[in-house]
Structure 1
Amino acid sequence: MDCRQTDSLPSQDRIPDVLGHLRHLPRPVYGQERALPNQAIARPHRHPWVQFSYALQGVIEVRTRDGRFMAPPQQAVWVPATIEHGVRCSPDALIRSLYIEPSVLKNAPAECKVVAVNSLLRELIRSFSALPVLYGEHGPESRLVAVLLDELAAAPDSGLILPWPRDERLQALCSSLQSEPGSQTRLYDFAARYDVSEKTLTRLFRQETGLSFRAWRQRLRIMSALPLLERQERVTDVALACGYDSMSAFVASFRELMGETPGEFLRAAASSNAGL
Structure 2
Amino acid sequence: MSPTRHDDTGPTRRPLADGERIEWHFHTVNQLACPGLGVLRVFTPTGSWVVPPHRAVWLPAGVAHSHQAHGRSELRCLTFAPERNPLRLERPAVLALSPLLRELIATLTGPEPVGRATLERATLEQLREAPELPLGLPAPRDPRLRDVAALLAADPADPRTLAQLGTAVGAAERTLSRLFRRETGLSFPQWRAQLRLHHALALLAEDRSVTAVAAAAGYRSPSAFVEAFRLAFGTTPGRYQRQA
Shifted more, 251-260 versus 235-244: the winner is 251-260
One-letter amino acid matched to 2:49: F
1:167 maps to which of 117, 142, 148: 142
Q: How does 1:101-112 map to 2 (within 5 A)?
A: 101-112=81-92
Q: Which residue of 1 aligns with 2:66?
A: 86
Task: Output the CA distance in 1 between the equivalents of 2:107 and 2:172.
Answer: 55
Task: Give the deviation of 1:243 after TM superposition.
Answer: 0.8
SS at match of 1:228: helix
Aligned match of 1:141: 116
Partner of 1:122: 102
Of 17, 23, 36, which aligns to 1:42?
A: 23
* 1:1-276 mapped onto 2 (5 Å cutoff): 19=5, 21-22=7-8, 25=9, 30-33=10-13, 41-43=22-24, 45-132=25-112, 140-269=115-244
8 Å CA contact 1:187–1:198 kept in 2: the answer is: yes
Question: CA contact under 8 A between 2:70 and 2:206: conserved in structure 1?
Answer: no
Q: Deviations over 1:177-200 (max 9, x none)?
A: 112111112211221122222111
For residues 202 and 21 of structure 1, what CA distance do their matches in structure 2 show? 41
Q: Which amino acid aligns with 1:189?
A: Q
Q: Alpha-carbon deviation of 1:21?
A: 4.6
Partners of 1:181 and 1:221 within 8 A in 2:
yes
For the structure 1 residues 141 and 159, does the alpha-carbon distance in structure 2 shift closer, same or farther, using more than 3 Å as the test?
Answer: same
Aligned AA (2:135): L
Aligned pair in 2 of structure 1 residues 20, 63: CA closer, same or farther (>3 Å)?
closer
Secondary structure at the counterpart of residue 33 of structure 2: strand
Q: Which region of structure 1 is more displaced relative to structure 2, 192-201 or 158-167?
A: 192-201
**TM-score relative to the length of structure 1:** 0.79
CA-CA distance at 1:216 after TM superposition: 1.0
CA contact (8 A) 1:50 1:108 kept: no
With the length of structure 2 as denominator, give the TM-score of the two structures: 0.89
SS in 1 for 2:89: coil
Residue 206 of structure 1 deviates from its aligned partner by: 1.4
CA contact (8 A) 2:44 2:64 kept: yes
Given that 1:219 and 1:257 are in contact with CA atoms closer than 8 Å, whether structure 2 keeps it comes out as no
* Distance in 2 (alpha carbons) for counterparts of 1:81 and 1:108: 12
Percent of aligned positions that are identical: 36
Alpha-carbon separation, structure 1, partners of 2:173 and 2:127:
43
Distance 2:73 2:87 in 1: 28
What one-letter code is carried by the residue in structure 2 that aligns with 1:104?
R
Q: Which runs of 5+ in 2 are unaligned?
A: none
* Matched-pair contact (CA < 8 Å) for 2:6–2:26: no
Q: Give 5+ residue unaligned stretches, structure 1.
A: 1-14, 270-276
Amino acid at match of 1:213: F
C-alpha contact 1:53 1:60 (8 A) present in aligned 2: no
Structure-2 separation of matches of 1:254 and 1:99: 32
| Higher-strand-fraction structure | 2
* Cα offset, 1:40, TM superposition: 5.0
Q: What is the distance in 1 between the residues matched to 2:229 and 2:83?
A: 37
Query: Structure 1: how far apart are the matches of 2:176 and 2:60?
Result: 32
Q: CA deviation at 1:129?
A: 0.9
| Secondary structure of 2:94's aligned partner | strand
2: CA distance, partners of 1:223 / 1:253: 12
